[in-house]
Amino acid sequence: MHRPYPYLAPAEGSVRHDVPMAISRDVTTTVRRRARGAARRLRVAGRVLVTGQGAPAGAEAAEVTAVPAQGSADPVYFGWTRYSAHFTDDKGLAFKASKRFKDESAYLDHLWSPERMTARDQIFLDLAVPVLQRWTERHDYRHVVTYSPEMPEPWIGRLRAAAERYPVLSLHPVEDGGINEIVRRTLEAERPGSRPVVWLRVDDDDLLSLDFIDVLDGHVRSHGPGWAVSLSKGLEAVYHEGRVTHLRGRHYVLGALGQAVVGSWDAEQGTLDLPRPGNHMTVDTRLPTVLDSRRATFAYLKHTGQDSRTTKPPTIEELVATHLRNTAVVRHPHNVLPRFPTLADVYDPEG
């Protein structure tokens, strides 16, 4: 197993990264109640490893039936971002599902409008992608980006420029299909040896930690194909005009951010077995699921261009009042921000 990044070890006298951040008694009670409910669902669904969810500081993680991974080959990881892509499938057009737009043209005007795209463009290309590239130094990681070729400038140009700068990015037009099809074709072309294959979802306004794959890798190596992994502890903050403010702790059981599924590539048969997780909130009803909430591994960034059911973008005050009112302030950000280096560069503690 890979060693942690050397500079991630806590300094003497500092607060450890892997213990829960201080939160109020009411919030703690709510989080533990939700975590216990999630754990019950996980056990009903199948085998589960519950590691530190809702545990007090310093408590030992509880292990329940781990299944050794098959084979010793290193896993290959695929992240997938649908970069404000416009899909047409058998479920109907996205603009119809939104119920907010009179026709497809109005929907596309909104989808790629500066009001919606500016923050996403900056979060994904300036904050997230440099971290994804760093993952490749220690793991076999590729990041698939599905996009619409008709996406207008400047967004399509900036995306292509990022792919030239960061080789981790693999751009695919929507016609290439979903992640299963793209992964299968990639492995068929490369013909690697048999090994675990993992894919994880990353939305275009999500940020994952520098050591995210390190944490995930431990679970992948100790569980066989057919498992899902939910790293459920992270941060939440507001992103506005290039700054991050209102940093909070977040416990998001079975959240979409970085939720991963473990499959396998059979080199002899040339076949890929990669489970389809379905809705991220109910993945535990279809796949046995690992839940690990010991350390912050994601940053859930709220911004005024976020998709919502209203046509009027929320203000910063509304974002804080709506999304952050029941979350706890991170009291020692210097202990967690080293694992989010690009976020640390734009964090404004006075904001």
Domain count along the chain: 1
Q: Is residue 118 part of a domain?
A: yes
Sequence-separated contacts (24+) of 160-167 with Cβ below 8 Å: 162/125, 162/129, 166/129, 166/130, 166/132, 166/133, 167/133, 167/136
Q: Which of 282, 226, 262 lies closest to 37 in space, CA to CA?
A: 282
Q: Is residue 263 part of a domain?
A: yes
User: 3-state DSSP: the chain helix, strand, coil percent, rounded to 5?
Assistant: 35, 25, 45
Which pair of structure tokens corresponds to residue 48? 């589960």
Q: Is residue 255 part of a domain?
A: yes
Q: Is residue 119 part of a domain?
A: yes
Q: Express each pLDDT in 31-69 by its tens digit.
A: 455 555 544 444 433 334 444 444 333 333 333 333 444
Q: Which of 76, 72, 70 lies closest to 187 in space, CA to CA?
A: 76
For every residue of 66-101, DSSP letters joined together read --PPSSSSPPEEEEEEE-S---EETTEEHHHHHT--
pTM: 0.77
Q: What is the pLDDT of residue 328?
A: 75
Q: Which domain holds residue 175?
A: 17-346
For every residue of 282-340, DSSP letters joined together read GGGGTS-EEEE-SS--EEEEE-TT---SSSSPPPHHHHHHHHSTTSEE-S-GGGTGGGS
User: Tokens 């992240």, residue?
Assistant: 79
Q: For residue 269, what is the domain's CATH number?
A: 3.90.550
Q: Express each pLDDT in 298-323 by its tens digit.
A: 999 988 876 654 456 667 666 665 66
Q: Is residue 173 part of a domain?
A: yes
What's the CA gap between 72 and 46, in Å, rounded? 24
Q: Is residue 209 part of a domain?
A: yes
Q: Is residue 1 part of a domain?
A: no
Q: Name the packing angle between helices 114-121 and 155-165 (round to 10°).
A: 10
What's the CA gap between 28 and 37, in Å, rounded? 14
Q: Express each pLDDT in 240-262 by its tens digit.
A: 999 999 999 989 899 998 899 99
Altogether, the residues listed in the chain come to a count of 351
Q: How many helices (H) and strands (E) does the chain have?
A: 10, 16
Q: What separation in angstroms does the CA of 198 have from each of 51, 78, 148, 320, 334?
A: 20, 6, 25, 34, 31
Torsions phi, psi for 187 (to 5 deg): -70, -35
Q: Residue 283, CB half-sphere, CA atoms under 13 Å: how many?
A: 26
In the sheet that holds 233-240, the strands lie side by side as 206-208, 298-302, 233-240, 243-251, 328-329
Per-residue model confidence as pLDDT tens for the chain (351 residues) = 454 443 343 333 333 334 333 334 443 444 455 555 544 444 433 334 444 444 333 333 333 333 444 446 899 999 999 999 988 754 445 555 556 777 888 889 989 999 999 999 999 999 999 999 999 999 999 999 999 999 999 999 999 999 999 999 999 999 999 999 999 999 999 999 999 999 999 999 899 999 999 999 999 999 879 999 999 999 999 999 999 999 999 898 999 988 999 999 999 999 999 998 899 999 999 999 999 999 999 999 988 876 654 456 667 666 665 666 667 788 889 999 999 999 999 999 976
Q: Is residue 10 part of a domain?
A: no
